[in-house]
Amino acid sequence: MIKTTILDASTDNIIYCADLLKNGEVVAMPTETVYGLAANIFNDKAVSKIFEIKGRPQDNPLICHISNISMLDELTIDLHSEIFQKLIEKFWPGPLTVIVPRNKKVSNLITANLDTVAIRFPSHIVSRKLIEACGFPLAAPSANLSGKPSPTSANHVFYDLNGRIKAILDGGICEVGLESTIVKIEDDSLRVLRPGIISVDMLKEVTENIVLDDSVLNQIDPNSTVISPGTKYKHYSPNADIVLVDSSLDDFRTYVSDKLKENVWCAVFDGEQKCFDKNVLTFGYNEKDQAHNIFMVLRKFDELGASKVFFRCPKKENIGLAVYNRLLRAAAFNLVVL
Ligand code: AMP
Ligand code: MG
C-alpha cells in the first residue's frame, strides 16, 4: 500500500509534487472549486492512473488545468473566437470550464474521443504555482472516489484516497466548494453543461444566447449519447439515501416530523433548525453558503451514520441552480414536491 501524506503548500512541497507529476505520478491539489486529482495531460500512463484510482469510467473526459494563457496553444485550435476571448477576459482565472475544439496533441484518453477539450484556468494560488512548476497543463477531476461527494478539504481527499496516492497538497478549505461551471461554445451561443457559481446571469454579460443543457435538470439514460458524458453517471452520493423535498418550511416540517428517528435525518437552511428537536443539520443561509457547504454536509451525514436524509430544496436560479443540480444527483433524482 502507498503511504499517503498531506503536505502543507510550501514552495519546497510544491516543487516536490511537481517532480512527482513530471515522473508520471498523480497528486491531489487544492483549487478554489474542489480538490483535484492531477496528472500530466501529455502522459497517457499517468492520466490512466487517474481513472484507476478514482474508479472513473473511461468515457468520462477530463478537464485540463492551465496556469497561463500561452498553454492554450497546445490544447485548442480555436483560440481566437470572440466569445472565447470574452469568457477568458471576464472569468479567468476562476471557476469556469470552457469546452472548445481540441488540438490533436491532446490524447483521446483526456477527451474520451470527443473532438473537443475542456479547459480551466483555476484561481487558487497553489494550483497555479503547481502547474507553473510543472510547465505542462494538468488533467484534474475531483479527487474523490467516483460517485462520492467531491472533496473540499485535504482530509476529505485522505478519507477517500488514503493508500492510493503519495501526496495531497493542503490548500485549506475550498472557497467555492462546488465544481466549476462548464460551458460549451456553439457558434455565437453558450450551452451550460454544468451549473456552478458562475451563474447564467453572469454568463449573459458575454452573450444573451445561452442554452441550459437538458442534463442539468433531467436524468439521463446511461446508454444514450450525450454532449457531456459525466452527466450520465451517479454522482455526489453519500451512504445515506437522499430525498430532496421541494416545499415550504411548514410543509417540510409536517412531512418529516414523524420520520426523524434513529438514523433518519434532515438538512435545512440556517435559522430553520429550531423547528426540529433532533436529527437536523443546516447547510447554509444563502445560495453561496449552500454551495460552499453542500459537499461537506453530505460527508458529515456519512460520519453520523445516517441511512436517510431529507433535504430542503434550494432555489433553482443563479447559484441555487448549481446546488439544486448537485442535490438532484445526490438524491438520484428522488424529488418530492409538496
Ligand atoms: P469532473 O472532472 O468530475 O469535474 O467532470 C468533468 C466534467 O466535464 C464531466 O462531466 C465531463 O462530462 C465534462 N467534460 C469534460 N470534457 C468535455 C468535453 N470535451 N465535452 C463535454 N463535456 C466535457
Ligand atoms: Mg467529479
Give 221-232 as a DSSP string. -TTS--SSGGGG
Predicted pLDDT at 221 = 75
Residues in Cβ contact with 187 at an 8 Å cutoff, skipping those fewer than 6 apart:
none
Contact 243, 309 (CB under 8 A): yes
Alpha helices (H) in the chain, listed in sequence order: 11-22, 44-54, 82-91, 108-111, 125-134, 154-161, 200-203, 249-256, 287-303, 319-330
CA of 194 to the centre of ligand 1 (A): 9
CB distance 153 to ligand 1 below 6 Å: no
Q: What residue owns the CA closest to ligand 1's atom 13?
A: 228
State how far the Cα of 36 lies from the Cα of 125, in Å rounded to an integer.
14
Contact 180, 63 (CB under 8 A): yes
Predicted pLDDT at 200 = 96
305: left (phi over 0), alpha (psi -120 to 50) or beta: left
The helix or strand, by DSSP H or E, that contains position 4, with its residue range, turns out to be none
Predicted pLDDT at 219 = 86
- Which residue type does 65 have? H
Name the stretches of the chain with pLDDT < 50: none
Of 109, 116, 46, give the one whose Cα is nearest residue 75. Answer: 116
End-to-end CA distance of the chain: 49
CA of 161 to the centre of ligand 2 (A): 14
State how far the Cα of 271 lies from the Cα of 149, in Å rounded to an integer.
25
CA of 174 to the centre of ligand 1 (A): 20
Mutation test residue for ligand 1: of 47, 99, 216, the one with most atoms within 8 Å of CB? 99
CA of 166 to the centre of ligand 1 (A): 25
State how far the Cα of 184 lies from the Cα of 117, in Å rounded to an integer.
10
- Class of residue 261 by CB neighbours under 10 A (exposed 0-12, middle 13-18, buried 19+): exposed
Here the cell at position 336 is 418530492
280 phi, psi to nearest 5 deg: -135, 135
Q: What residue owns the CA closest to ligand 1's atom 21?
A: 228
Ligand 1: which atom is nearest the Cα of residue 117?
Answer: 19
Ligand 1: which atom is nearest the Cα of residue 227?
Answer: 21
Ordered domains of the chain (ranges, CATH): 5-216 (3.90.870.10), 241-337 (3.40.50.11030)
CA of 143 to the centre of ligand 2 (A): 7
Of 40, 48, 42, give the one whose Cα is nearest residue 19. Answer: 40
Integer CA distances (angstroms), 58 to 62, 108, 227, in order: 10, 10, 15
- Which residue type does 94 have? G
CB distance 79 to ligand 1 below 6 Å: no
CB distance 41 to ligand 1 below 6 Å: no
The helix or strand, by DSSP H or E, that contains position 328, with its residue range, turns out to be helix 319-330
Predicted pLDDT at 1 = 85
CA of 186 to the centre of ligand 2 (A): 24
